[in-house]
Chains A and B, each alone.
Chain A
C-alpha cells in the first residue's frame, strides 16, 4: 500500500481543498502544506528503501486480467521526489502569488491533483497504469491553464487539450496494441519485451505511437505547439507544471519506454532509437534559436524548456549508459533551474507587471535578490561549472562520446552556447539603467522571494555536490545501471 501513498496523499489533499471551499484560506494552506511535507517525508523513506535494494511495490486488480501497479523504484522515485519537493516550494510561492486571485480553491485543488497524477506517472509499474495517470495529468492541468478565464487563456487551454488528448489517444493505441501482442509488460530494467519474437514492424509502429504520445508532453518538435501558448497560465502553474510535472511526465515516459519497456538493446536493434535522437537534436537546436528571438519573458523560457527537454530525450535515445544517466539527472537538474526562472518571471510580473525582456532595464536594482537567483540559474542552464547544469551536460556529453556519437556532443555544446545567447540578454537588459527605481523595503512579497532564493541556492548546492551519494547524478546512475545490465559507472 505504501507505494500508492505518494499519489494518494496529494490526491486526498486536493479533494480536501475542494471540500474546504473558497473562503477557508488558512485551512486550505495548512492542508496543502502538511500534505506536501508528508509526501516529502514518505518519498524520502521510499528512497532510502530503494537505495538499500528493497523496492516497495503493490498492485490492485481493476478488472479480471487487468491490474494497476505501483512500484517505488529508484527511477520513478527520482521523478516523484522532484515533483514532491518542488510542489512544497511552489505551494509557498503560489500562496503569495495568488494572494488576491479568484477561485483559489479550484486552483489549489487541481494543483494537488496534478501532483498526485505526476507521482502516479512516476511510480506506475506498467504501461497501462502509466497511461491512466498520464491522462489524468492532462485533464487536471487543463483547469489550471485556463484559470484566468481570459480569451487568450481559453484559446491556449483548448490548444493544450487538443494536443494532450491527441497524444493520449496515440499512447492508448500503442499501449493497447502492445498488450495484445505481449500481454502484461511491467517495466523491467533492460527491456520487458523478451517474450516477443519477430514482429519488428509492429514493434516499430508501437514505439512511434508511444513516442508521439509522450512526445506531446515532452514538447518534442513538431509536437511542441501547445507549450508556449500554455504559458498564459498563472506563474506557479507554469513553474511547477510546465517546467516540472507535465513536461517531465512526457520525458519520463520516454525514459521508461526506451530503458525499461523496449530496453536499450531492442531500441537500437529495431533502429527506432536513432530517429528519436535526431528528432530530439533538431528540437534542441531549433527551439534554442527560436528562444533567442522571443521578447516575451515566459515565451523565451518556454522555448528554452523545449530545448532542454530534448536534452533528456536525446540522452535517452542515444542508448549509452552514461548519456541515459545524464538524461535522468538532467530531469531533476533542469526542474530546479527552470523553476527558479519561472518563479522569477512570475515575481517580476506580479510585482512590477514586467512581461517582456525589453521592459527589464532597472530590474537588477529593483529586485536584486530575485535577479541574482535568476542569474545563477541562467548560468547553470548554460552549463557553467560548478553549477548544476554543468554536471548533467558533462555526463550527457561524455555519454554521447563514449557511445560513439560525437555529433550529439556537438549538439549539446552548441545548445549551451545558444543558452548563453538567450539567457544573457535577459541579464544585460535587467542590468541596464532604467525606469524601475531601486527598491525601498522588501523587493517583493517574501512568500515569492524566498522560494526563488531557495531554488536558486539549490542550483548551486546540487552543482557542488553532483556525483556524491544521494545527489541526482549518483541517484540517476544507480537507477539507470540495471537497464544496461552489468554497467557500473
Chain B
C-alpha cells in the first residue's frame, strides 16, 4: 500500500523538528497570553460563546507547528482558520458579520488551493511526510502549478496584494485578546507554510523575481492603505500585510537559490518571531491604553514605543535583527531585481513608521473605558513587551549573529534610523499640508477592495434573485391552470394498482423484447 492512502487516524503524525520549534514557542506563547487576556476582559456571560471558537482555533494554531505530514498540516490549518470566524464576528454587529463572511470566503478558497497543492505533492512524492514533499515537487513536471497554488494559498493567508484587506478585516472587530492571537500567530502560519512546503532553489529566476516584486509591492501599498484607514486595529492589520510582504520577499529568495535558501529561511523565522511578538503587543497595547487613565495611560502610551520602534526596525530592537537577516538573504542573490529590492528595502520602513505614527495618534484619541480592573491586562501586556525586547536577540540561531555583531556600529544604526526620521519629518510637515490632503484621512475602510468585491457579489445575487422571482411567478401561474381532473388522476395514480399495472406492462415489454 502506498503511504498516501487514507489510513484513519494513524495517518496523522506530529513531531517537533528544528523548523517547527520557534513557531511552536511563538504560537504557544501568543495563544496562551491571548487566551488569558480574552478570559480576563470578556464579560462572564460572553465567555462561553467566545471560547467555543477560541479553543479549537488555538488548538489548531499551536499544533500546526508540530504537524509532520500533509494531512495533519491541512487539518491544523483548517482547525485554526475556520473557527476564527467566530472570533471575528463575536461583536455581532453588521460590520463584524460582513468581515467574517469575507474572511471565511477567502479562507475557504485558500484551503482549497492548499489542499490541491498538497494532493499533487503527495502524489509526486508518494509520501505524506512534509520534508519529503517539498523536495519531490522540485523535480516534478507539475512543479509550476503546484508552486502557484501554494503561493496563492499562502498569499491569502498573509494578506498579499490584492487581498491585503483580509488582515485588517480580521483584526478590526475581534475582541482584543483574540485579535492579538490572530495578529501575532495566525498569519505566521503562512510563514510556516513557506518553510514547510515551498521547494528551495529549483524555480526559474523569473518566479523568484515576480514573488519578490509582489512582496515589495504589498509592503509599500499596504502601508499606504494603512495610513489612510480608520481605526488603530485596522492600521495594525495593514501594517501586518506590509510586513508579511517582506516575508514574501524572503520566500522569493529561497525559491530560486539553494545557497541563499538557509539565509532566507532564517529571515522568515526572524521576521515571524519579531513581527508576531511586536504586533501582538501593539494589538493588546491599544486595548490596554483604553483601560487606563492619568499617568498610567501616559506610561502605557510611552511603552507602545517599544513594539512600534521594533516594527520600524530601529537600532537595538527586534526589527533591526529581522531586517538584517532579510537584507543578508536578498544580498545573496545577484541581478537587477534583487539589487533593486535590496536598495528599496530600507524605504519600506518609512511606510511602517508612518503606520506606527498613525496608530499612535488614533490610540491616543481613544476614550477610556475603565469598567474592568486593568491589572491582569497590564501584567499580560508587560510579558509580551518583555518578549518583544529580548527574544529575537537571545534566540540561539544563525540568523541573528550578523545583526548582533553590527548592532552598535554607527553606520548600521544610521541605516536603521533614517527611514523613521523621514516619516517623523513628513508627519510634522503634514500640519502645513493643504486641507484637501488632510481630507484623505480615513478614506480607506478596513478591507478596501474586498469590501467592494463583496458588495458586487451581493448586488449580482440580488439581481439574480429578482430575475428568478419573476420567473417563479409564471411557474406558479401555470401550476394553477392545471385542471382539477388532472389532479384527481394524479391521486388515483398513487394507488398501488397503478404501480403494479405499470410493473406488469414493463415485464411484458421485457418478455416481448427477449423473445424477439
Contact = CB atoms under 8 A, between A and B. Distances in A.
Interface of A: 18, 63, 65-66, 106, 128, 132, 135-136, 139-140, 142-143, 146, 149, 151, 154-155, 157-158, 161, 168, 172, 176, 179, 293, 322, 379, 382-386, 390-391, 393-395, 397-398, 401-402, 406, 409-410, 413-414, 416-417, 420-421, 424, 428, 432-433, 464-468, 471, 473, 477, 488-489
Contacts of A322: 5
B104 A409 contact: no
A198 B85 CA distance: 59
A365 B433 CA distance: 55
B75 to A, nearest CB: 4
Nearest to B76: A385
Given A395-B5, A471-B8, A489-B5, A157 B513 contact: no
A-side interface mostly? helix
A432 B1 CA distance: 46
B9 A139 contact: no
Nearest to A463: B8
B503 A409 contact: no
Given A466-B6, A467-B5, A468-B7, A394 B503 contact: no
Contacts of A135: 503, 506
B483 to A, nearest CB: 12
Contact of A391 (B6, B89, B109): B6
Interface in B321-351: none
Contact of A65 (B4, B111, B494, B514): B514
27 contacts: A128-B510, A132-B507, A135-B503, A136-B503, A139-B499, A142-B493, A143-B499, A146-B490, A172-B513, A379-B82, A386-B8, A386-B9, A386-B71, A394-B6, A394-B71, A394-B119, A397-B119, A401-B142, A413-B113, A416-B115, A417-B108, A420-B111, A424-B108, A468-B7, A477-B5, A488-B1, A489-B5
Nearest to B100: A428
A69 B197 CA distance: 52
Nearest to B52: A431
Given A172-B509, A398-B119, A143 B496 contact: yes
B487 interface: yes
B53 to A, nearest CB: 10
A433 B515 CA distance: 67
Contacts of A406: 120, 142, 145
Contact of A66 (B82, B100, B465, B514): B514
Contacts of A466: 6-8
A158 B492 CA distance: 12
B295 interface: no
B438 interface: no
Interface string B40-63: 000000000000000000000000
Given A146-B494, A406-B145, A433-B92, A413 B115 contact: yes
B435 interface: no
Contacts of B113: 413
B464 to A, nearest CB: 7
Nearest to A379: B82
Given A390-B71, A397-B115, 18 more contacts: A63-B515, A128-B510, A136-B503, A142-B494, A143-B496, A386-B8, A386-B9, A401-B120, A406-B120, A409-B120, A413-B115, A413-B116, A414-B112, A417-B108, A420-B104, A420-B111, A466-B7, A473-B6
Given A136-B503, A143-B496, A406-B120, A385 B491 contact: no
Contacts of B493: 142, 146, 157, 161
Contacts of A402: 123
Interface string B76-117: 001000100100010010000000100011001101110110
A429 B485 CA distance: 42
B197 to A, nearest CB: 16
Nearest to B115: A413
B513 A176 contact: yes
Contact of B479 (A143, A155, A471): A155
Residue of B92, B112, B496 contacting most chain A CB atoms (<10 Å): B112
B454 interface: no
Nearest to A411: B116
Contacts of A409: 116, 119-120
Most buried by B among A158, A401, A471: A401
B115 A383 contact: yes
A395 B6 contact: yes
A366 to B, nearest CB: 16
Contact of A410 (B7, B116, B510): B116
Interface in B122-164: 122-123, 142, 145
